[in-house]
Amino acid sequence: MSCSGEFVERDDIIQIKSSIQQQLKKAKYGVADHSTVELCHWTKKSFKGEESCYKHKFYGISTHQCMEFSPAGMYCENRCVYCWRPMEFYDSLEMNQENVAEPEDIVVKLMAEREKLIMGHYGDPKSIHKKLDESLLPAHYAISLSGEPTMYPKLPQLIRYLKTLPATKSIFLVTNGQEPQMLRRLQSEDALPTQIYLSTNAADRDSFMTINKPRYSDSWE
């Protein structure tokens, strides 16, 4: 984004393939460059005053004001057997820092995509319009969704940017732990989120390899 607040489009930014974008949009994802956003199951239930997710039950967050997104929508080091994400679209293990979108651009573009997804719920007579209105300004961010967010090389800057937004109350990061150097960077660069969720789904190497189907040769280590 330029100093004037306008986007400066670059033709060297990593893009999700157009054919994959079309399939993601059919599945109600919003897409911006290499990033994705979605209204989760619990957010949509919250719009109707129904159930809320565990983060509301445990921490009191407003589910309808939670934005779930990923800055690395189609990038992951594992092919976990239980994953419900669109893994068939994952085709790379590297995000070059010179070719990724800036954190502010990601957030602004994904908020616009998220707003489009929310607009469709105003036509549902079961939706509570006050909640829909409030949801347009996120207060909580779940950096998760699809892909492995710690593969995005500017994640510390992204989290620090989210913290500067006046409405931000919490930031959650979900990771498989395959990028330990990035987790160290979050700490050393004063960019730790409110909470980090580390997926630990295997007790030994054989189980890990069977369940996670990793692409890194040293993934267990």
- pLDDT single digits (tens) 77-109: 878 887 766 656 566 678 999 999 999 999 999
Strands ordered across the beta sheet of 29-32: 29-32, 35-38, 66-70, 140-143, 170-175, 195-198
**Domain chopping of the chain, boundaries:** 28-212
All residues at 6 or more sequence positions from 163 whose CB lies less than 8 Å from its CB, including other chains: 171
Contacts of residue 175, Cβ cutoff 8 Å, sequence gap at least 6: 148, 149, 150, 183, 196, 197, 198, 199
Rounded to whole angstroms, how far apart are CA atoms 112 and 48?
22
The pLDDT of residue 34 is 95
Helix 155-164 crosses helix 180-188 at what angle (to 10 degrees)?
Answer: 40
The CATH class of 28-212 is alpha beta
With residue 207 as reference, give the H or E element that holds it.
Answer: helix 205-212
Nearest Cα neighbor of 171 from 155, 185, 182 is 155
Give the residue ranges of the chain where pLDDT is below 70. 1-9, 84-92
pLDDT of 4: 47
pLDDT at 8: 57
159-175 pLDDT, tens per residue?
A: 999 999 999 999 999 99
Token pair for 82: 């239980």
* CA pair distance 200, 188, nearest whole angstrom: 23
What is the model's pTM? 0.89
Tokens of 108: 């602004």
The residue type of 174 is: V
